Amino acid sequence: MENLKPLTDFFSAIEKDFRISSAHIAIYTALLCFRAGREFSNPIEIFRVQLSPVAKISSKQTYHKCLQELHEYGYLRYEPSFKKTRGSRIYFFDFEIRKITAS
């Protein structure tokens, strides 16, 4: 059950955030699946071609827009690489720590 904690924490965090769409949720969930396959390493490096099929996002613009917005809204840190040989870096935040410091 501990493996689901990052996902349940994310859903709790977005519950009242009207800016988050189903595309944001799909991308974040796909990122967590990819991260789980990498022993929950933080950060992860990923290419759009790896993530888009899992997230069911076919548009490059939607993919990049949603990742950038998740970064801007504070749900993750996104560092695009702009290189074909190196994936973009995604840093995950601990929502429990953020909840405590926000209080």
Average pLDDT score over the chain: 87
CATH architecture classification, 2-102: Orthogonal Bundle (1.10)
Mean of pLDDT values over 72-95 = 91
d(CA 88, CA 4): 24
Mean of pLDDT values over 59-88 = 94
Domain borders along the chain are 2-102
Using the predicted structure, report yes or no on whether residue 80 has a pLDDT greater than 90: yes
Predicted confidence (pLDDT) per residue in 17-30, tens digit: 999 999 999 999 99
d(CA 40, CA 53): 20
d(CA 98, CA 103): 9
pTM of the model: 0.86
Helix 22-36 with 60-72: angle, nearest 10 deg: 80
